[in-house]
Amino acid sequence: MKFTFFRFIFLFAIIAFFSSCLNSSDSTIISTKAYFSSLTFAANDSIPYLSTAAFTLEYDAALKDSVIINVDSLPYSTRVDSVYPTFSFKTSAGAKLYFPTGYKYNKDSAWITGTDTVDFRKPIKVKNFATDGKTTRTYVVRTNVHSVDPEVYLWSKSSDDMSSVDAIYQKAIAIDDKLFYYQNDGTNSYLHTSTNGSSWSTVNVTGLPVNTPLDDMIEFNGQIFLSRDGFNLYSSTDGVSWSKSALTAFSFKSLLFVLNSQLWAVVQSASDNTYHFANSTDGANWTMIGTIPDNFPVSNFASVSFTQPTGKSKAVVLSGFSPDGTLLNNRWSTEDGAYWVDFSTENHTLDTLALGVSVISYDRKLLAFGMRTDTQKAYYKISKDDGLSWANPDTVRNVLPAALKATPRSYASMVVFKPRTYNKLDSKTDIEGSNRIFIIGGKLGAMVYSDVWTGKLNRKNFLLQSTYIQ
């Protein structure tokens, strides 16, 4: 019995031995496939963004070969001088890193162990050995980190004095990638156009009243519209030749904005002189709806429409004159043009803004430029909650030029070039020309400005968020 038991133990040990040998043999694969599969970086407390780096193979025309690269750059100031890399290949008997001459290491190569940190500030090479022990594949590894702070706004002057017109009224709008800057002096109307804000061409416009305020000029469905002339509405398809259409049911006080594919306006009923909203889907046929709330402006206000992160459209109206001529500091918001919320009853962070403010939507924020009522100084505010609350922009990353702040003004036009559709990844001109903010003209008392300033968020220049470390 005792013998039988020991014989059983001996037999079991032999079976286990051969079984383990078979398993070991089955898991050993001899292959010539040395190709790259993946690369990840381990994040730690000092380098929190490293784990977000996604490396892929991209063809490099100069090398005429594929390189391992993270197309979407790591955030600005991310340290990649001491990184724990994890390489994965189709098969690998071992991989070796080769460092450029003069690099910080005292050796020109090192085997990848997974426990040593590597400096990826410059391109390095990795050589993988397939499991056949002979076949190898070598790649260049490039790690992209943004070399400039993406949240910095860069401002500069594009034109010092682009017009000599002693204008009474002025207004600039951006259509696609062209700037239209209108002026009238009581005798003539002028149009100045530019594709870059620096070089301008001037033409005389026809059909546009020469003494009509221009502040409610707006683009809609490929046309430019202007009211502020009673029952008449003016429109143009090219910005040069204008035509007039007349309504009899109501008179236009001001065009408001474009919201939900409709052009909106404040109008006054011809029958009882009450004030209403009106909208149109084509700029020709209008429907008068509702009545404006108390303390809602009918002229000289600033307005902007935009898409919220939720995908819904929204519009905000700032300042302006009430029907009885009272200067308002209310801020109104709507998503449908019918139901309105007065933000100024809850938040008073924009109460010191004077008449003639300009507001834009940019980078999912609202920017307002104008002049303070109490100090007559330049005013620049930002809202990150769709116009509810306003604050001074970052005093390091988003600062207006000193020369612009030193010349406070009202009725300046702040506009944005619309983004383009890019067909080529190397189209640097397209990247630099789009998403620019322009501040044009304005006035202070009898002083009429015709200078042009431009600003842009650094991040808007990034092509696929990619910047090579050289």
How many residues are there in the chain?
A: 470
Residue of 264, 338, 272, 273 whose CA lies nearest to 303: 264
Distance of CA 427 to the CA centre of its chain: 18
pLDDT above 50: residue 321 = yes
CB-facing half-sphere around the CA of 91: CA atoms within 13 A: 15
Q: What are the pLDDT digits (tens) for 43-58?
A: 877 778 888 899 999 9
| Model confidence band, residue 10 (pLDDT cutoffs 50, 70, 90) | very low
Alpha carbons 419 and 425: distance in angstroms, whole number: 15
Per-residue pLDDT of 229-287, as tens digits, reads: 789 999 999 999 999 999 889 999 999 999 999 999 999 999 999 999 999 999 999 99
Give me the mean pLDDT over the 189-209 stretch: 91
Helix, strand, or coil (residue 433): helix
pLDDT band at 123 (very low <50, low <70, confident <90, very high): very high
The mean per-residue pLDDT over the stretch 138-156 comes to 91
Closest C-alpha among 347, 353, 255 to residue 297: 255
DSSP state of 146: -
Q: What SS3 state is found at 170?
A: strand
pLDDT for residue 162: 85
pLDDT above 60 for 344: yes
Rg (CA), the chain: 32
Q: What is the pLDDT of residues 412-456, one digit of tens each?
A: 999 998 755 444 444 444 555 678 999 999 998 888 899 999 999
Q: What is the pLDDT of residues 369-386, one digit of tens each?
A: 999 878 889 999 999 999
**pLDDT at residue number 46:** 73
Q: For the chain, what percent of residues have pLDDT higher than 90?
A: 58
Domain annotation for the chain: domains and CATH numbers: 36-142 (2.60.40), 153-461 (2.120.10.10)
Residue with tokens 């070969």: 65
pLDDT-derived band at 144 (thresholds 50, 70, 90) equals very high
pLDDT for residue 137: 95
> pTM value?
0.76
> Is the pLDDT confidence value at 75 over 90?
no
- Cβ(98)–Cβ(107) under 8 Å? no
Q: For residues 275 and 52, give the distance between their C-alpha atoms in angstroms, rounded to a whole number.
A: 55
**What is the C-alpha to C-alpha distance for residues 88 and 110, in angstroms, rounded to an integer?**
17
* Residues 345-371, mean pLDDT to the nearest whole number: 91
Average pLDDT over residues 317-342: 94
Mean pLDDT of 297-307: 95
The rounded distance, in Å, linking the Cα atoms of 430 and 407 is 31
Q: What is the mean pLDDT of the chain?
A: 86
- Give residue 470's pLDDT: 33
Of 14-23, 116-125, 327-336, least confident by mean pLDDT is 14-23
The pLDDT value recorded for residue 433 is 62
d(CA 148, CA 143): 15
CB 70 within 8 A of CB 144: yes
- Between CA 342 and CA 316 the distance in angstroms is 10
Q: Where are the beta strands (DSSP E) in 61-160?
A: 65-69, 84-89, 94-98, 109-111, 124-129, 136-142, 153-159
Judged against a pLDDT cut of 80, whether residue 5 lies above it is answered with no
When pLDDT is cut at 50, 70 and 90, the band that residue 67 belongs to is very high
At residue 11, the pLDDT reads 35
Give me the DSSP letters along 28-45: --------EEEEEEE-BT
Distance from C-alpha of 104 to C-alpha of 221, rounded to nearest angstrom: 60
pLDDT at 62: 87
